[in-house]
Structure 1
Amino acid sequence: MLNKINLKNILFLDIETVPEVALFANLSPEMQELYALKTQYQRKDEFTAEEFYHRAGIWAEFGKIICISVGYFIKRDGKDQLRVTSFFDDDEAILLTDFKTLLDTHFNQNNHLLCAHNGKEFDFPYIARRMIINQIELPNKLNLFGKKPWEVPHLDTMDLWKFGDYKHYTSLKLLTAILGIPSPKQDIDGSEVARVYYEEKNLPRIVEYCERDTVTVAQLLLRFLNKPLIEELNIVKV
């Protein structure tokens, strides 16, 4: 039961991704052809593969992670405090290795859970795939080989909102609006991340955006548990 989960055992997270290289022309001819094949269904006849390349970051085969933000609850002075930190780097292997170290050293117990919005469809598999591509051994929390569904240590706030309706997609922005949670979309949104990264070269701006989404995922779970939202003064960046 959800209400029996200890909040202190949950690592909330969000990732930001971009195309692995800035331009379609930077891909090898083989990768250009493979991208065209991969995106054929989504593009139909409306866009060429090059015109559709701005969306390459959503596929782990053609994108890369530039930031993973995490949040976790601790008790401080009798009050719940949400601590938020981020792993970010232009070198994806560095941030993935640092994130793996966190999972292996601080969130490696059986009762520890990872939580993200649409995490089961996007964040968790994306991180795992990029680790394999970067030849990084999967941490236990992302290694699902041979695990039964009830053994998978993942929570997904979008999955929880579906209540068994597998056709239903609800964005984080919509849920914050209807549940009275401060919106995380105060600056940029996901469609602008690649531009901010490659054209503005402003990774810190993306990190702030990622951290706000992570806080929102934690707030969303609190609402699902019918608990008070965490106050701004109890959200601490470390």
Structure 2
Amino acid sequence: MFYKINLENILFLDIETVPENATFEELSEEKQLLWEQKSKYQRKDEFTPEEFYDRAGIWAEFGKIICISAGYFIDKGNDKNFRVTSFYGDEIKLLKDFKNLLQEHFNQAKHLLCGHNGKEFDFPYIARRMLINGIRLPYKLDLFGKKPWEIPHLDTMELWKFGDYKHFTSLKLMANVLGIPSPKDDMDGSMVRDVYYAKNDLDRIITYCELDVVTTAQVFLRLRGDELLEEEQVKKV
């Protein structure tokens, strides 16, 4: 039961992604054709491949990670403290830095990764981008040969499904229905591409990513029946 998991053994995380190139025209002819084929069923006849390219960030083959934010609990007696840190900028460097975090501090059997829709998006996306960039997978992301109960991943959206596999609930909606105060952010996921390429405001994206990590941790606490974090218990490091 996840109620018995030591909170200090969980690394909460969230990623922000964008298309690998700013525009469709920057892709090679071969990659343009591959994008047209990959996106065919999602865009149908409503959009051309060029018009649909602003959504390329959701596919690891055509996108890249610009920020990984991670949070973890520190036990100080009867007081919970939550620390948040971010890796951002150059993708290869941020992936290597994140891998180092996993290997140095979250590499034991007891350690778990947790994200919202992490099993469908964040965890496989990070793994694919590592391999694309020639980075050997850390143990926590290498699932080959592992039995389902050996996979060290938690997913707050999966915990909310209760076996209903067709049920998708956004992090923002879960926070709302569970009575978790909404973070004071000024953007949503659909805006990340423009904020990155058009406005060149990576700091704004980092803040947004970190707020999602804190909200994911809050959702996890509520699902366990634990008290929520107070603002002063959350620190950026």
**Same fold judged by TM-score > 0.5?**
yes
Q: Deviations over 1:180-209 (max 9, x none)?
A: 112246211000000000011010100000
- Give, in whole Å, the separation in 1 of the partners of 2:228 and 2:120: 26
TM-score in terms of structure 2 length: 0.99
Asked whether 1:62 is paired with 2:94, we answer no
How far 1:78 sits from its partner (Å)?
3.6
Asked whether 1:181 is paired with 2:180, we answer yes
Residue 227 of structure 1 corresponds to: 226
- Give, in whole Å, the separation in 2 of the partners of 1:182 and 1:193: 22
Residue 95 of structure 1 corresponds to: 94
TM-score in terms of structure 1 length: 0.98
Residue 207 of structure 1 corresponds to: 206
Asked whether 1:170 is paired with 2:169, we answer yes
Equivalent residue of 2:119, what SS? Answer: coil
Equivalent residue of 2:211, what SS? Answer: helix
Q: Give the total of aligned pairs.
A: 237
- Give, in whole Å, the separation in 2 of the partners of 1:75 and 1:104: 21
- Give, in whole Å, the separation in 2 of the partners of 1:222 and 1:76: 17
Unpaired runs of 5+ residues, structure 1, are none
Unpaired runs of 5+ residues, structure 2, are none
The answer (yes or no) to whether the contact 1:177–1:183 under 8 Å persists in 2 is yes
Read off the aligned partner of 2:125 and give its amino acid letter.
Y
Equivalent residue of 2:118, what SS? Answer: coil
Task: Please identify runs of 4+ aligned residues in structure 1 that moved more than 4 A.
Answer: none
RMSD value, Cα: 0.8
How far 1:77 sits from its partner (Å)?
5.7
The answer (yes or no) to whether the contact 1:173–1:184 under 8 Å persists in 2 is no
Q: Deviations over 1:69-106 (max 9, x none)?
A: 000000236411000000001x2000000000000010
Residue 150 of structure 1 corresponds to: 149
> Which aligned pairs between 1:15-34 and structure 2 lie closer than 5 A?
15-34=15-34
| % same residue | 68
- Give, in whole Å, the separation in 1 of the partners of 2:57 and 2:68: 14
Equivalent residue of 2:15, what SS? Answer: strand
Read off the aligned partner of 2:192 and give its amino acid letter.
V
